[in-house]
Amino acid sequence: MEWYSAPGKVILYGEHFVVYGNRAVLCAINRRVQVSAVPRSDDIISIQSDVASTRYSMNDYATIDPALAPLRHIAESRCPGGVDIHVRSEIPPGAGLGSSSACCVAAAAAVSPKQSPPRSVLALALDAERTIHPNSSGADCAASTYGGIIEYSKESPKPVWRRPPDTMRLVVADSGAEHSTARMVETVARFARDNPERFDTMKDMADSLAGLALSSMDAGDIHTLGRLASQNQSLLEDIGVSNDTMRDMIHIADRHSYGSKITGAGGGGCIVAITDGSNSGRTASALESAGYHAFEVSADAAGVNPL
């Protein structure tokens, strides 16, 4: 049985605004999802994962757990005789760390012909992800497919790799509350509908923040990267994807790090703090002492690959 593995991600700058065409900066992280797909010839589709499992005949109408819709799409579109899919994950679901997109990408690779180009794996993964998140920008799937730190926009989905400062460390803390990406994207759509001019201004600000972050990354300027994360967080507050728990975590992280923000859709899930060796430990300990699970992640240069 051949397994394929794809990394999760944090969004460093530009989530939500990327849905409206902005640039975002993402970092694939060293937490991965592994998927194997073994073809069958009896029309049975079987999916086993920690989140949910199912087994049904393609000849019968089957109701399945909505969380499995992306894998169902991949199985039914690419495995005409049926398939056994197994998923193993190191990434908590609903935390904004890209568990669902990493799963889609690893599964897309597992059912694709060997040596398929990354762009075709990404296209299938994105079709699958859009079964549960129709407006997905594709940013998460791109980070899982290509790995590393990437600049991504919907107009040029082949991402540009960027080199992080050698000393940069990322501390992630989990609120413990699962979030729904679709619901948070809808919250932002409502904000944009109700405040079109304000949203346009914020979108421009978010795009220039992403641009400044990319040049600060090239210059190795961690202090500025932290400050830009905090400015990005203010925009996320304004568009309504934060809450008291996220604010508490950010307040704690900002006492020790260079700056922190929600990563991903918000409304729960994780924050990410920009640090280096001088303050990463203190940042993580302070968050842990306050009862939040906190850990350091590093950039994973490897995108989707066979195990």
Q: Which residues are catalytic?
A: 140
Q: For ligand PMV, which residue of 12, 111, 185, 250 counts as binding (CB under 6 A)?
A: 185
Residue nearest ligand PMV, Cβ-based: 264
Stretch that binds ligand PMV, among 38-46, 85-93, 209-217, 261-269 (CB under 6 A): 261-269
Residue 136 lies near ligand PMV (rule: CB under 6 A): yes
Residue 19 lies near ligand PMV (rule: CB under 6 A): yes
Contacts of ligand PMV in 45-64 (CB under 6 A): none
What's the rounded Cα separation, in Å, for the pair 231 and 248?
16
Q: For ligand PMV, which residue of 12, 18, 171, 273 counts as binding (CB under 6 A)?
A: 18
Nearer to ligand PMV, 22 or 36 (CB): 22
DSSP string, 7-20: EEEEEEE-TTGGGG
Residue 181 lies near ligand PMV (rule: CB under 6 A): yes
Stretch that binds ligand PMV, among 49-57, 70-78, 133-141, 244-252 (CB under 6 A): 133-141
85 DSSP β-pair partners: 37, 47
Report yes or no: 173 and 249 within 8 Å, Cβ to Cβ. Answer: yes
CB 184 to ligand PMV: min, Å: 6
CB 114 to ligand PMV: min, Å: 29
Cβ atoms within 10 A of the Cβ of 285, count? 13
Stretch that binds ligand PMV, among 80-88, 113-121, 135-143, 195-203 (CB under 6 A): 135-143
CB 44 to ligand PMV: min, Å: 30
Residues that bind ligand PMV (CB under 6 A): 11, 15-16, 18-19, 96, 98, 136-137, 139-140, 181, 185, 264-265, 269
